Structure 1
Amino acid sequence: MKKRVILGMSGGVDSSVAALLLKEQGYDVIGLFMKNWDEKDEDGVCTASVDADDARRVAVELDIPFYTINFEKEYWDRVFTYFLDEYKKGRTPNPDVMCNQEIKFNAFLDYALNLEADYIAMGHYAQVEKRDDGYYLLRGRDENKDQSYFLSRINQRALSKTLFPIGDLDKSEVRKIAEKHNLYTATKKDSTGICFIGERDFDEFLDKYLLTKEGDILDLYGKKVGTHTGLIHYTLGQRRGIGIGGVGSGEPWFVVGKDLNKNILYVAQGEENPALYSTSLIGESPKWILEKDPQMPFKCTAKFRYRQKDIPVTVDKNGDGEIIIKFDNPVKAITPGQIAVIYQDEACLGSCIIKKIEPLEEKYRYLNN
């Protein structure tokens, strides 16, 4: 009897090829489109509906059953409210990581298992490997597309039931397979941005949900150099869009801190300004792929944003259930609210949410603590 796989189809080329490969491997494949958000773009088009139509068309081409499921309430409760709460704290969240943790590998998994699926599958560039002590999450073969960063908070239950059919392929190979089989999505461009924002103006979107207030932009000497449009619109390390021109040495300005109580945005000039650098971070809400704390301290590598090169670090814990990540060398523009993902060679060990950073120089502690 064929094993049943329920595949999350997004309407993109990756999940389309995943469906094709699963069918060729002899699985009983069912395509399922997750509708997590319902809002039209500036042209009055609901992009979720367009993507669902594309996914349905591929399912027809492959002769597999196709359905849609509405997870809008779950997404709002578990992901979007988290997103807004983080911005209220002055932090910059990563909702895509939480979407994987709470929706794709939780709510979707539950739904699929209730339909007596043996596995779920996704078109992610990552791999799962069963070892003696559990299921490991490995990087995708394509270094440029590896998505283990976004999957770093899923658990053993999910990994034991998950297939990543394109995880051992390069993106170029995926495109070639789609073109060879004349799939409708073969030339469709990759989606960018957060799913509920899409291609729209990010600041404009935030203003719909959160109150903003203009305030002073100060340099490291306390001199006013501009006016910000609301602290939620700025991220530590940000260079573009600050709105400071013709001030100072002529070097670019960077965001280096926020004071929520006083509504102040701090900036500094120069690519290598010491205020941009930190030596360690404290991470909250750690999640380990094997669901048990590794023996600490230990040496490994980490990423603090997607597509960043691996950073050599030492991981330890404090007495508050948090972890401390110490960098071998100072690191630039670490952003509270983002995800610190921990690796041992090809294996993703887990991740934590960046709570605060230790500045390179003590005098800059006031900027973010």
Structure 2
Amino acid sequence: MTSPAFDAMVGVSGGVDSAVAALLLQRRGLRIAGLFMQNWDDDGSGECRAEDDRRDAVAVCGRLGIPFHSRNFASEYWTGVFEHFLAEHRAGRTPNPDVLCNREIKFRTFLDEARARGAQRIATGHYARVAERDGRFRLLRAVDAAKDQTYFLHALGQEALASTLFPIGELPKARVREIAREAGFSVHAKKDSTGICFIGERDFRDFLGQYIPARPGPIRAVDGQNLGEHAGVFHYTLGQREGLNLGGVRGRPQAPWFVVGKDVTGNVLYVDQGHDSPYLQSSTLRASQATFTGGDAPAARFSCTAKTRYRQPDEPCRVEILDDGTLEVRFDRAQRAVTPGQSVVFYDSEECLGGAVIDATDAPPPCAV
């Protein structure tokens, strides 16, 4: 049998995290190569940073003396991630494309590409860890809790986890930058990428408007009073305060307004005053499209902690898998702005068990929603 050309193919993004991931693997004596993934073609906006990132990735590989490969995954990204992203927005939901991108592109298409190029495993600069016990691979939180990315990796299964290395999962971000500086990487102080990768620094509303035409409609208080006009319900998410353009309303307290509901069919955006409006509170949610890192759920009913958004503190809950495969999740205390389209992700201490896509909650509906 021919031995693999590389022990690992590293996804080099042009950032500091993937650069240090590659360096650490090289120091461990592994035969590695770098692969730069371009997931979005330049759309003429001037906001695409792919070429700048590619140059940085080439420089990192050159400094390490490892082979550099590049692959355009834009077509796969469009069909596997972006079309779903648009469909969810049209339905009035708030999708999380990073979860789908990880599952479909970075840990499936990339893995297939790496194997085709002779690599045994893949490695990335994600802040997470993998541990094996009795032949089962567990997804664990990163040591740096502030940078932990298991929320976005919860949909990975056993094949992906068994084939992936997370070299920086044991390190705090400050140490990662320090290692990069000591190694002479020009990217040691490069700003972290934020938000959705293909949007860059541009205005999200303008970007989305290129694909979903604006359809203005009324903004109403929960009692039905018309307060203003929105630019399209798909631009807003539950709990949002910014972008409503609502000043003082006669007869109403001087307090900020928050999005509390969307009537997609009627094209109405509902708002209420107060960060902790009762219309944003729910203790039970329904979710579907569940995936578990171990392959199967821990049990038909189990207790754990969960997050309904990234960086949220863990909250105790009880999970029940219903006959139709959907999940009912009950929290010990009410949660704010639990949003359909986002993910609920489950944890047992440091282990990420998996997650599901939120469909609905028991938050009280405003007015006629």
The TM-score range, normalised by the shorter chain, is over 0.9
Q: Deviations over 1:33-87 (max 9, x none)?
A: 0011012574x36301110110101110111110101111110000000100100
1:173-230 residue CA offsets vs partner (Å, 9 max, x unmatched): 0011001111111111101110110111000000000122110011011000111000
2: CA distance, partners of 1:19 / 1:365: 54
| Contact 2:47/2:199 (<8 A) preserved | no
Letter in 2 for 1:336: P
1:340 equivalent among 341, 344, 366? 344
Task: Give me the TM-score of the superposition, normalised by structure 1.
Answer: 0.96
Shift of 1:297: 1.5
| TM-score, normalised with respect to structure 2 | 0.96
Q: CA deviation at 1:160?
A: 0.4
- Alignment check: 8 A CA contact 2:177 2:188 kept: yes
What SS does structure 1 have at the residue aligned with 2:119? coil
Asked if the contact 2:344/2:358 (under 8 Å) is kept, the reply is yes
The residue number in structure 2 matching 1:11 is: 14
Q: Does 1:182 align with 2:184?
A: yes
- Give the counterpart of 1:27 among 13, 26, 30: 30
Query: What aligned pairs does 1:223-238 form with structure 2 within 5 A after superposition?
Result: 223-238=225-240
User: What does 1:213-362 align with in structure 2 at a 5 Å threshold?
Assistant: 213-247=215-249, 248-359=252-363, 361=364
Q: Which runs of 5+ in 2 are unaligned?
A: none
Q: Which residue does 2:207 correspond to in 1?
A: 205
Secondary structure, in 3 states, of the residue corresponding to 2:209? helix
Equivalent residue for 2:99?
97
Identity among equivalent pairs (%): 49
Q: What CA distance in whole angstroms lies between the structure 2 residues aligned with 1:167 and 1:3?
A: 22
Q: What is the one-letter code of the residue matched to 1:242?
A: L
| Structure 1 residues not aligned, in runs of 5+ | none
Give runs of aligned pairs for residues 70-81 of structure 1, distance below 5 A.
70-81=72-83
The one-letter code sitting in structure 2 at the alignment partner of 1:203 is R
Residues 50-61 of structure 1: matches in 2 within 5 Å? Answer: 50-61=52-63
Secondary structure, aligned partner of 1:246: coil
Runs of 4 or more above 4 Å deviation: 363-366
Contact 1:30–1:65, Cα closer than 8 Å, also in 2: yes
For the residues of structure 1 that align with 2:27 and 2:60, how far apart are their CA atoms? 15
Asked whether the 8 Å contact 2:128–2:141 carries over to 1, the reply is yes
Letter in 2 for 1:103: I
What secondary structure is seen at the aligned counterpart in 1 of 2:285? strand
Specify the code of the residue in structure 1 equivalent to 2:38.
K
Aligned residues: 364
